Amino acid sequence: MAAPQRRSPRILTVKSSRYLTPHMIRVTLTGDGLADFPEGQEGAHCKLAFPREGESFEAFSALYSEGRPKERVHPVRTYTVRSFRPESLEMDIDFVAHGDEGPATLWAQSAAPGDFLAFMGPGPVKLTEFYADWYLVAADMSALPVAAATLEAMPETARGVAIFEIHSEDDRQEIDIPEGIKTHWLVQDDPHLPSAAQIDFIRGLEFPDGRIQTCIAGESGVIRELRLLVQTGRGIDKADAYISGYWKLGLVEDQHQQAKREGLAG
């Protein structure tokens, strides 16, 4: 599906915020700007700009009233539309509480009704057509929102495997997953250490014959390996494989995006 047309950033305010699980914060955003938000964008990514400490709503909004500022004034991070309820103009975004002092995480940890941010996007939804005989979904916590939205959009008859790498047993979430998708939760309690859990698991999987589609995202080093495994190793067609690095150990997002552009990160 083509990306919806670029529009001025939407200034949204926090309606509520809560810990969905010990390491996942669900922030519900609202605002008149959502009146023209397209439906069916669950799983699409967006860019969020966060205000500076003490910045007023008026001063912040003014900077986005004529589009994206030419120069970066605020920290901007990439997130996923987890759900959108047009009738109440509410959008949920799930933030991993990963324990680092990143501006997005800090903002989400203290988000309270009336707080605000600028929402840019949405970008394209990752999987819009479901035609596979078998699906492979793999996600760490940063990619749980895209994985969950994708699984919820699949036909009820879908078959395959979904692997979620989470920080603790209690980070399991309720997701509406087709019965034919076998789910595995892998616990890796320190996300700051490299993890081979998903790689080992997928290496040991038996891939059936037939057309395979993937939705795989997470830490860049893991993604690099998984890309080799599923595309080069298993020959899954590039067009059928959504596989993307969402963050990288030791790099803040801007550095990670730069490394991706230079082909140095997954």
Which residue's Cβ has the minimum distance to ligand FAD? 102
Strands lying side by side in the sheet with 116-120: 76-80, 45-49, 116-120, 10-21, 24-30, 90-96, 83-85
CB atoms near residue 171 (< 10 Å) = 21
Output the smallest distance, CB 26 to ligand FAD, in A: 10
Output the smallest distance, CB 32 to ligand FAD, in A: 23
Closest to ligand FAD by CB, 63 vs 259, is 259
| Contact set with ligand FAD (CB under 6 A) | 45, 77-80, 94-96, 98, 100, 102-105, 141-142, 145, 191, 246-253
Output the smallest distance, CB 48 to ligand FAD, in A: 9
C-alpha distance from residue 27 to each of 72, 112, 203 (Å): 24, 9, 35
Closest to ligand FAD by CB, 183 vs 255, is 255
- Is residue 94 within 8 Å of residue 144, measured between CB atoms? yes
Closest to ligand FAD by CB, 117 vs 134, is 117
Report how far residue 25's alpha carbon sits from residue 162's, in angstroms, rounded to the nearest whole number. Answer: 22
Q: Please tell me what DSSP assigns to residue 231.
A: I
Closest to ligand FAD by CB, 171 vs 253, is 253
Output the smallest distance, CB 139 to ligand FAD, in A: 10
Output the smallest distance, CB 127 to ligand FAD, in A: 13
The helix/strand count (H/E) of the chain reads as: 6, 12
